[in-house]
Structure formats: C-alpha cells, structure tokens
Structure 1
C-alpha cells in the first residue's frame, strides 16, 4: 500500500513539474502567429490616437497607415474578420485596461449584419494562441472554449494544432504594422465566400446591448465615437441605416460613404462586401478628410 501511494505521489509530482514546464511552451505560441495584434493589445504596445474597431469591413476597408499620414495622428486597426459587436466591446475594454485612452474610435458598421444573431460571432479561436495571457484564458473558460481545468493546469489551455502547427500567412491573417489587412487587387469574387446574399436578418438584443455598452464606455472615457458605414457593391440597405440611427447616442457621429465606388469592372471591390486596396485607400481618404473637417470646425 505504501509503495502504491509512493508511486501515485511520484506520478503526480512528475505531472505537475511537466505541467509547470508546459507554461513556457504556451509562451512561445504567440511568436508563431502572423497576426499578433491581440498580444500587442494586452501588452500595452498599441497606444493609438485613433482606434479602428469592427469586423472584416474595418480590417480590409480602412488603412491605418494612410489615416495616420492624413490626420497626423497615430491610427491602429483592431478589426477582425467575422467578429460581432460583443467581441468589439471586449477588445475595447482590454484596450483601455492596458493602453492610453484614444482620442477617437472609428467603429465600422457591418451592413446589414451588425445586429444579426447568426452571421458574426464572438471568435474565441482568435484568443486561443494567446492563452498564456490570463485575461484571455479567463474569457476562453467563461465562453466554454476551454475546460475549467485550465484554471489550474497548463496542459488544459491548448490543443495539438495550437502548439505544433504554425499558421500560414493568408489574406485573412496578414496585417500591416498598424494592424490593417489590405486586400490586393484581384479578379472580382462576386458574392464571395463569406457573404450571405439577401439573408433574413434576425435581430439579437445581445448585440444591441453590446453596442450601447460600447457607446457608454466612450462617453465615460470622453472618447469621440465615429460610426462609419463602408460601401457594399450593391444598393445601401436603408432599413439597416434606420435601425442603426435609432441605436446611436446623440454624441455618436455617423458617417456614410459619399463617393461613388461602383464601376462597370468593379474596380474598387474584392467581393460584394469588401473593398480591395484601391477602394480602401479611397474610403480611408474620405474618413480622414471628415475627421480633419470636424477638427477645423471645433
């Protein structure tokens, strides 16, 4: 019996030592990621005057470098493909906890899916490579992406792919130094892989509440919030605009693209809902001039 207990204690000791060593393996995972913005965020390395939030419409359609050059203020893009309003709210909360308060937030409205229940998600998969940071780990446990064992065991914080597979650089995860994800000029993709044409929008009160919380946070921190509506390669959804205006605070600025982006050869678009780099430059220039004009008036 004593021998059995000794073996059990020895096994447990070895396991705990290995688990402690595994922490150093977890710390190496972020360095393998093509997109390390979430690490920059949590380490307080962004420190932007103008912060860009949103889904792929933010990531692809607004070029932080161009905006910085035009406004003479440091802009940084924290847009992530396929992400929902509650994810953007969480990003802002983390950002404010670790970085200086920005002067302006540009929030890119995902027309018409911003408040939809199904299309956009709280993407826990984006957080998994950065699980060595406790704040991300806690949320992954809360969202059910990790077992509660991850609270006490490092082995429970990752899977085989996260540890041993190095992601390849793709259109979806490539970012510039200031976080933007410009899409090169290619053959027009039409509806694309991610766009759901003519979907019946199912309003999600959770997303509406998250947008109000995001606006509340901007008011509390004295941040100017500019909600921008980027172009789709189809007529502007007037019903969505009405819904969005109804959800915006008085202090929230709303900007809708003003230039004509539609051409016979789809010159400015990658697909129906995303601009290529030429379109992004044009749209970014619009936003930058709007910010400069507002600054002159104030």
Structure 2
C-alpha cells in the first residue's frame, strides 16, 4: 500500500476519523482543513498524495495522505482495511473525488460516460459498501456525498455529468433510510459555483463538438472555463456549513450550497410542482376503472 508515512497499527486517533477522497484540492482540501481545525484525524486520499505533504507536515499526528484512485476497487478495499487497522474506526466518509464534463448527449461517447460513472457513482458506491459494515458495528457514522446542484436538475451541455450525480443522489436517498436505524447519517451536498479547480487547469473535460449544438451547448463550453477563479462560492465556508449540518440534531438529507444553488434548486422545485399540478388529471386517469 502506498502511504506517505509508516504508522503504528495500534495508534489512537484524535477526535473523529475521516476518510476524504479528492482531498488534494477544492472541497476535499477545504474539508480536510476544517476537520483538522476541529481537532479530528484525517486520512486524505488523492491520486497524487504528495500534493498534501506540506499539510501533513503541519499536522504530523492527525493528517495522513494516501494514494487512491476511486475507480480501482482493489485499492478501495486496501485503503479502508488499512485505516481500520490503524484506528479501528472510520467516523466520516466523504466521497468527493470528481471532475466535470461538458458535451451534448449526442456528443458524449460511451467511454466518457462510463469513465465518469466509475468516478462519480461506482467508486463512491464501493467506498460506501466498504465502510458500512464497520459503521453498523460501531453504531455511528456519517457518509457525505459530494453531489452538485446539477444532481438535482440538469441543463444543456452537462447531461453526462448530471446523470452521474442523479445516480449518486438516488442511491444515497435509499441509503439514508436503510442506515438510519444504525445511527448512521447520510448527507448529500449540492454546491453551485465555488472557487475550486473544477473549471480550470485542464480539469474540465469536453466532448468533441458537433456544430449542430453550437447554439445550445456552445455557450456552456465557453462560459464554464471563463469562470475559473471567479466563482462566488467560498470552499472554506462550504466546509464549515457541511460540518454544521453533520453535527445538527436533524441533519438534512440534501444541503444546497451557494446563492446560485439555492435559487436554481428552488426555481426547479417550483417549476416541477407547477408541471405536476398542470398534468395531474392526466396522471390520475391511467388506472383501471373500478
């Protein structure tokens, strides 16, 4: 197992033990820093854990980088087993690793769709399954699923991305009902535009363009990269909000973050309700007659 440091398996953790994926930047890094500030212990997973060396050096007893590609099931099993060997517990799992993809549905290839689904759905599902037996035994735990406002509704150019987040949210909604009796919380986080690396530095992938979609998808292709470093959302404030929601007596199932997410999700819910009411008589007309 590729670890930054060798540890004593009998080591006692300080505070809660977190396992955070995609911890080298963005929300993952912000949550790592917030958990450390709260006095907790963090196993910070990333494809390039060396990026976290300076943060680990500042917290040598409570922050441990680990190499993990969440699309590798064998590595998932090994990492979870190693964390449990060290500390005997995982209190919080944060499924955060991810990236963006812009493209019309017709433009998106099978390979692009499958790769994104592996990253945003199958990887988090595997990690969730790996930690649940332990959380059930200890009678407590929290699973934080980093979704997006694009996991609640979609728009032109992000169909593939939204499809993966819709899948994660559907899984998590059922999961929350299944694990509540064991004292395990599930929190789905739905951020809007935050100042992370999502839109820049080559992180945002784009499907090969078909000219016919220039009018509907073209503006999204141009606009998203141009927002890099200018987004209104503060990742540190998002991390604080997530911790507050987790510690609340009644943790919400879904937590939109950012004014843009709050506005857009509210508008979507209103439009969905209006459409349902408009077509309600048709919906109710399809049962067999008594």
Scaled by the length of structure 1, the TM-score of the pair is 0.43
Say which structure, 1 or 2, has more relative contact order (CA 8 Å, 6+ apart). 1
Q: Which has the larger radius of gyration?
A: 1
Greater fraction of residues in strand? 2
